[in-house]
Amino acid sequence: MSTRQSWGSGAAGSGFDVDHLPYGVFSAGTDAPRVGVRIGDWVLAPAALLRGEHDDLAAACEAASLNPLMALGRPAWRRLRAWLTDVLTDRSRAEQVSPALHHLDDVVLQLPFEVADYVDFYASEHHATNVGRILRPDGEPLLPNWKHLPVGYHGRAGTVVVSGTDVVRPHGQRKGPDDPAPTFGPTRRLDLEAELGFVVGVGSVQGQPVAVDDLAEHVFGVVVLNDWSARDVQAWEYVPLGPFLGKSFATSVSAWVTPLEALDAAWCDLPGQDPEPLPYLRVGPRAGLDLNLEVELDGVVVSRPCYAAMYWSPAQLLAHTTVNGASLRTGDLLGSGTVSGPEPGTRGSLLELSWGGRDPLRVGDGERTFLEDGDEVVLRCSAPAGGGGRLTLGEVRGRVLPAVPRPLR
Amino acid sequence: MSTRQSWGSGAAGSGFDVDHLPYGVFSAGTDAPRVGVRIGDWVLAPAALLRGEHDDLAAACEAASLNPLMALGRPAWRRLRAWLTDVLTDRSRAEQVSPALHHLDDVVLQLPFEVADYVDFYASEHHATNVGRILRPDGEPLLPNWKHLPVGYHGRAGTVVVSGTDVVRPHGQRKGPDDPAPTFGPTRRLDLEAELGFVVGVGSVQGQPVAVDDLAEHVFGVVVLNDWSARDVQAWEYVPLGPFLGKSFATSVSAWVTPLEALDAAWCDLPGQDPEPLPYLRVGPRAGLDLNLEVELDGVVVSRPCYAAMYWSPAQLLAHTTVNGASLRTGDLLGSGTVSGPEPGTRGSLLELSWGGRDPLRVGDGERTFLEDGDEVVLRCSAPAGGGGRLTLGEVRGRVLPAVPRPLR
């Protein structure tokens, strides 16, 4: 498939050729939202074209979320992808297909799936070590459990928003170590976290764990994710039950979900796990993903995190989530946690990039420790494609709006 | 309303008279699941009777979950409750209504609502203090944030199950303080937690906090909740991001949701808050709930937790959840956290009742520290009714099944 190219102009080399074909949900004019597939700068609405050929896929693509399509399972995902590839590379079908193409400028992209449960992990050793050094300078940077299990927690599914959604600076309780009591007000330490998100298509049965080998049977695709964080709120609230309001105000995901099948060429070996994990977490070679992320702040790239440096693999996150019998549902979202590499220029949060606010970061003509009102954050990601090119994963864009002056009547 | 009685035999004095009228979802025979209202030992299916009189309520009551009804909002909830009271107290309607009544023995009760986000709190000072003393015997029992904010975290919405569902003993990683490395196997410290759950009917807009005064505009009703916990798994995994697999395998809720309106006579003053909370958390008199819980283990009542002793009020839990702008959705479930009173016989978990396993608990002829395979746990709850009687809140029942021998292929 990697050598095939679309008959559509502009798709070749765009990162959105037929070797990619990410899925989203869009609306055009007054039409109801439905499933779309990105090709170059165009969105294909496949539902009507599928009618008669693949009625199950047609029905799923008429929905206002990817959930019905995701629930159909891997054979259906493959059938749709093969059909899309044929339709978009067979020049003789161009006349038939063209009316189903909408230019990106003419559509509004929606949250692509209904989020069931959202779990966020902490799978980068570099991130966990940096955070440990910043927050607990006198202790061991990694806690004792960190290399034995992928540490994770549940986030708020109801506040996951699509790329392009503004984020209002949240209020909360903050208390510095020398403050006599907490105060209430807008966060002073608003941060971004560059992550990947794995989107579950096929659920599982309560009581039946999912094995590490079964990732591709359950995970439909990948989004890029910004886990906005209010560090001062988080620092005060998080003992002993973990982050809550410091994270729950908003989590942004890309409008496009890259199918796992499009990432065949992106698998790479993990950096190495020592000690060897317990049997239910053991994976073979090529369990990691060689993706390159980019953090842009007000038009300036401030970091280039590399996903290949992640300690825990996607399959390990999935297996761990279910090993106690917890079921998966269509729409479950598993965040990787902040992607940080070993070099300072590959850190995926401002907490790390500014070393807890101690070392301001140069951004264009100015400096930043944490996010300021009006700042726009864009996360980008790319992956190797089969033919030597690259796929452009969906960007995540969001602007910080000032706090609401009086949040309560 | 408190002086009115149903024309149905057996409702008076059952805890399920017209002063209660809890909602659930049931199926009878091969009929599709739909909304039902409990009266005595009967379930009324109101949808068909409402047609023509209240078409919006009729449509909502045809659904297989309470979510459409809950989303209609407080005026609709009041209208339905008034209609139900009329129908069930007006003897002249008995002949018309009787065909819509199903005996409890002839129906299957379902999970009454689709859970959106599940947040669990830690709102009992006695519980938090006991846990602190057991787990951190050398430190202050309460952490510094505890009296400034209701500590809470997100749980797994997808594994909330209805009363009567068996719970399989979960596997997980456990590591004692003297073990050189974690081991994998069935939990050895399976526990129950007796809680209340507050069910959100009307959601809110992202960015707009809900004030403490607005509880009754958003919360539809109350369930009894068992937050099953694997203490050994939890103890090893929970730093620094909080409980995950130690809780996510199952959470049981009662099949009946008691409308908040039925609890008018149950409000009582909080025991007192010192220091005074920040303004967004300040509540007036009668912010607490005077409910009596009961924990039964294998037919023996082992504890009688009193909800009136809870430190943080339901309105404070709701206001705190949204103060950072996080939105509510229909179906959000807010757990109170374990309800423990000041006396040993009022503790709501085996962790506390057996003091971390040190003091086995007498249960009939035997002893327990934590739950054994085959144990059946029943949580019950009652509330004062307006006329001097009591309402019986929905029980939560669950039996522990042995761990699956080989959870993975």
B-interface mutation test, from A324, A329, A333, A338, most B Cβ less than 10 A away: A324
- Cα torsion A279, A285, A287, A288: sign: positive
- Cα torsion B232, B234, B235, B237: sign: positive
Closest CA to A403 of B316, B207, B244: B207
Q: Which residue of B has its CA nearest to A148?
A: B182
Does residue A395 surpass a pLDDT of 90?
Answer: yes
B235 at A interface, C-beta within 8 A? no
Q: Is A322 annotated as a binding residue?
A: no
Better-scored residue on pLDDT, A42 or A176: A42
> A residues 56-115 near B, CB within 8 Å?
none
Per-residue pLDDT of chain B (409 residues; tens, 9 = 90+): 445 778 877 888 999 999 999 999 999 999 999 999 999 999 999 999 999 999 999 999 999 999 999 999 999 999 999 999 999 999 999 999 999 999 999 999 999 999 999 999 999 999 999 999 998 899 999 999 999 999 999 999 999 999 999 999 999 999 988 999 999 999 999 999 999 999 999 999 999 999 999 999 999 999 999 999 999 999 999 999 999 999 999 999 999 999 999 999 999 999 999 999 999 999 999 999 999 999 999 999 999 999 999 999 999 999 999 999 999 999 999 999 999 999 999 999 999 999 999 999 999 999 999 999 999 999 999 999 988 899 999 899 999 999 998 766 5
- Cα torsion B200, B203, B208, B211: sign: negative
Determine the pLDDT at residue B9.
74
Q: Which residue of B has its CA nearest to A136?
A: B240
DSSP B107: E
> B residues 345-404 near A, CB within 8 Å?
404
DSSP letters for B165-193: --EEPPEEEE--TT-SS-EEEE-S-EE-B
What mean pLDDT, rounded, does chain A reach? 96
> What average pLDDT score do residues A358-363 get?
96
Determine the pLDDT at residue B3.
56
**Reported confidence tier of residue A397, pLDDT bands at 50, 70, 90:** very high
- Cα torsion B172, B176, B177, B180: sign: negative
Closest CA to B335 of B148, B140, B151, B69: B151
> Is there a contact between A245 and B324 if contact means CB atoms under 8 Å apart?
yes
> What average pLDDT score do residues A113-119 get?
98
Q: What are phi and psi of A289, to 5 degrees?
A: -125, 130
Domains and CATH numbers, chain B: 23-109 (2.30.30.230), 118-401 (3.90.850.10)
What are the tokens at A22?
């990410």
**Reported confidence tier of residue A17, pLDDT bands at 50, 70, 90:** very high
> B residues 144-163 near A, CB within 8 Å?
144-145, 148-149, 151-159, 161
Q: Are B36 and B102 in contact (CB under 8 A)?
A: yes
B339 at A interface, C-beta within 8 A? no
**Reported confidence tier of residue A2, pLDDT bands at 50, 70, 90:** very low
Determine the pLDDT at residue A153.
98
> Is there a contact between A157 and B157 if contact means CB atoms under 8 Å apart?
yes
B211 at A interface, C-beta within 8 A? yes
Q: Which residue of A has its CA nearest to B121?
A: A241
Q: What is the pLDDT of residues A246-274, one digit of tens each?
A: 999 999 999 999 999 999 999 999 999 99
Q: What is the pLDDT of residues A127-179, one digit of tens each?
A: 999 999 998 899 999 999 999 999 999 999 999 999 999 999 999 999 988 99
Determine the pLDDT at residue B68.
98
- Assess whether B127 carries a catalytic annotation: yes
- Cα torsion B321, B243, A342, A144: sign: positive
Going by C-beta distance under 8 Å and a sequence separation of 6 or more, which residues neighbour residue A89?
A4, A5, A6, A7, A18
